[in-house]
A and B are shown apart, each in its own frame.
Chain A
Amino acid sequence: MNELILALNAAGIRYLLVGGQAMRLTGMPRFSMDWDFFIPPRDGKNFATLNDLLRAEIDLPLVAVGSRGENFIQTYQTRWGILQFHLGLPGVPRFPQMISLLRNFIHGGIQFYKYAAPTALFSIAPILPAQSLSESLEMI
């Protein structure tokens, strides 16, 4: 899976890893088998690059969300496991706001925002001392 994450990063894909795998990477074991990615719902360039990267793995291209919420979640079975692309997450701000929130949330310039478990991170924020939060994020 590292291979895919590295490829996404190298291609400059706009994404956030969310859900169980993000929680695992921030130190909270949660044995979810699929990989959930939060991506901007209508970024044509992002979709084109993603489709190019995943061409050999997916039988249906990733597409933008429709005007009535069609394609809100797109699920693929790949050699890395099940990939789920979420074009929105209930109760979570839109993608750009989320990136901005996470950037503001982190101190010391740690570029952690590619990995986010929104529920967990926002829930623990008030109970985590700043120092241990930085330490836990540096592990990523």
Chain B
Amino acid sequence: MKITDDYNAKYRLWAAKPTVVPAPAAPRLPDFKSKRFSSHAELNTWKLSALRRLAQLSPSK
């Protein structure tokens, strides 16, 4: 059985007790140049490849 999030339950929990948490510290990422994309699909493709590169740089590898 595939278990998926129940988004309505999440929203109800949030609505019942909204809590603003501090923004997490920005991670130190390798520098990259600015990018322009024509679609979210294009952005996601780039993001996936950037994440793969980051994973390869991971010291735990």
Contacts and interface: CB of A to CB of B under 8 A. Distances in A.
A25 B14 CA distance: 12
A73 B47 CA distance: 12
Interface stretch (A42-50, A93-101, A105-113, A120-128): A120-128
Contacts of B15: 124, 127-128, 132-133, 136
Interface of B: 7-8, 10-12, 14-21, 23-24, 26-27, 29, 31-40, 42-43
5 contacts: A27-B18, A27-B20, A58-B34, A75-B35, A136-B18
B12 to A, nearest CB: 6
Contacts of A80: 26
Contacts of A31: 24
Interface string A66-93: 1011111111110011101000001000
A4 B43 CA distance: 24
A58 B26 CA distance: 17
Contacts of A81: 26
A72 B37 CA distance: 6
Nearest to B32: A77
Contacts of A6: none
A127 B16 CA distance: 10
